[in-house]
Amino acid sequence: MHPLVALFRQHLVSEKRASDHTVRAYVSDVEELLAHAGAGGRAVTVADLDVTACRSYLASLHGRNDPVTVGRKLSSLRTFFRLLVRRRLASGSPVAALRGPKRARRLPAFLGKEEAGRLLDAVIAPAARPAEDARDQALFEVLYGAGLRVSEACNLNLGDVAAQGPGGLVTVRFGKGRKDRIVPLGAKACQAIDAYLPLRAVLLAGAKVATKVDPDALFLSNRGRRLGPREARRRLNRRELASSVRPVSPHALRHSFATHLLGEGADLKAIQEMLGHASLRTTQRYAQVDIDHLMAVYDRSHPRAHLTTERGPRKT
């Protein structure tokens, strides 16, 4: 690993406390820049990473990456060069004045209330693996009931869920930005967890090597290890087929959680805290989603939503 990349990685992990996914993405972006600047196999120094090299690298991304990806890579480079300037390895940032491509306005994908209900109430047949089916039900109820990211749900431990009246509370540890938060959990999700826990021992027993068992993990794979986000997505796809719901990602359940809360009058600030957003601007996207949904319903349903060419006789 290039010394500059190693320094950047240490900064992300130790100082920024970035998630593993962010560390991998940002480090990969900087490695791409270094590879581009060192085309031909020559060693790259900080002096080689000037405005021309950075512009050339960003220009090479167009056509192969969408504007969102290019913008993220530019953000990675800004963080990288800020570190070099702070460590006095560079006199200034060559990307400070560069602007990313204009992004298309994309609203979060979400399920309607009826769709979410069909997805969560779908019956998987035949129920040959009741332990896995109960785990999946509990997982999807938690994703929708608490608005968790799929990685946050997979990282939950047994002690992170506590009863609170008919519902409960879930403690999300080391969420985005390595921040902890406590989120309410509905009665349906708590009921699904209670049904899953007695069957969880079946999944623990499936481990072939005892040392690889994760006894603290709430959601286990059929080998007794902590369930991963990729497997969670695969299980959701199976549930979509059974419920005839359009294909969505686990993150769409999080979007649905926020959109449905907002549609029922929940406070935007409270939704921000439950989602763990650092900025209210991020949460405000769901306000636009809700407005667009309301407008679509109005346009379909209201008898005077559209102009018509037919007119009755004019009164005199």
Question: What three-state secondary structure class fits 170?
Answer: strand
| 73, 251, 255, 260: the active-site residue | 251
Select the more confidently predicted residue: 46 or 41.
46
- Concerning whether 293 is annotated as a catalytic residue, the answer is no
Instruction: Give me the pLDDT at residue 316, please.
Output: 47
- Concerning whether 176 is annotated as a catalytic residue, the answer is yes
Instruction: Give me the pLDDT at residue 193, please.
Output: 94
Tell me how long the chain is: 316
- What letter does residue 65 receive in the DSSP assignment? B
Q: 176 falls in which pLDDT band (50, 70, 90)?
A: low
Cα–Cα distance for residue pair 122/46, rounded to 1 Å: 56
- Concerning whether 149 is annotated as a catalytic residue, the answer is yes
Q: 78 falls in which pLDDT band (50, 70, 90)?
A: very high
- Concerning whether 251 is annotated as a catalytic residue, the answer is yes
Select the more confidently predicted residue: 214 or 80.
80
Look at 5-19, 251-265, 277-291 and tell me which has the smallest mean pLDDT: 277-291
Domains of the chain: 3-86 (1.10.150), 113-299 (1.10.443.10)
| 9, 149, 225, 260: the active-site residue | 149
What is the overall mean pLDDT for the chain? 83
Look at 66-70, 172-176, 238-242, 271-275 and tell me which has the smallest mean pLDDT: 172-176
pLDDT at 142 exceeding the cut of 60: yes
pLDDT at 49 exceeding the cut of 90: yes
Q: Which helix (H) or strand (E) holds 250?
A: helix 250-263
Determine the average pLDDT of the residues in 137-151: 91
Question: What three-state secondary structure class fits 4?
Answer: helix
| 176, 200, 235, 255: the active-site residue | 176
Instruction: Give me the pLDDT at residue 28, please.
Output: 95
Give the type of residue at 259: T
Q: What is the pTM of this model?
A: 0.65
Partnered with residue 168 across adjacent β-strands are: 163, 185
| 173, 277, 285, 293: the active-site residue | 277
Query: 119: Cβ–Cβ under 8 A, 6 or more apart, which residues?
Result: 111, 140, 239, 240, 243, 245
Read off the pLDDT of residues 191-224 as tens digits, 9 standing for 90 and up. 999 999 999 988 887 666 555 778 889 999 988 8
pLDDT at 127 exceeding the cut of 80: no
pLDDT at 250 exceeding the cut of 90: no
| 9, 73, 254, 255: the active-site residue | 254
Instruction: Give me the pLDDT at residue 167, please.
Output: 82
Beta-sheet strand order (sheet of 161-164)? 161-164, 167-172, 181-185
* Percent of the chain with pLDDT strictly greater than 90: 34
Determine the average pLDDT of the residues in 46-68: 89
pLDDT at 151 exceeding the cut of 80: yes
Secondary structure (DSSP) of 218-245: SSB-TTSSBPPHHHHHHHHHHHHHHHTP
Q: Where would I find the H helices in 11-50? A: 20-37
Look at 133-137, 196-200, 285-289 and tell me which has the smallest mean pLDDT: 285-289
Determine the average pLDDT of the residues in 147-158: 91
- Concerning whether 277 is annotated as a catalytic residue, the answer is yes
Instruction: Give me the pLDDT at residue 6, please.
Output: 94
- Concerning whether 87 is annotated as a catalytic residue, the answer is no
Determine the average pLDDT of the residues in 5-29: 91
Instruction: Give me the pLDDT at residue 214, please.
Output: 81
pLDDT at 308 exceeding the cut of 60: no
Determine the average pLDDT of the residues in 85-103: 87
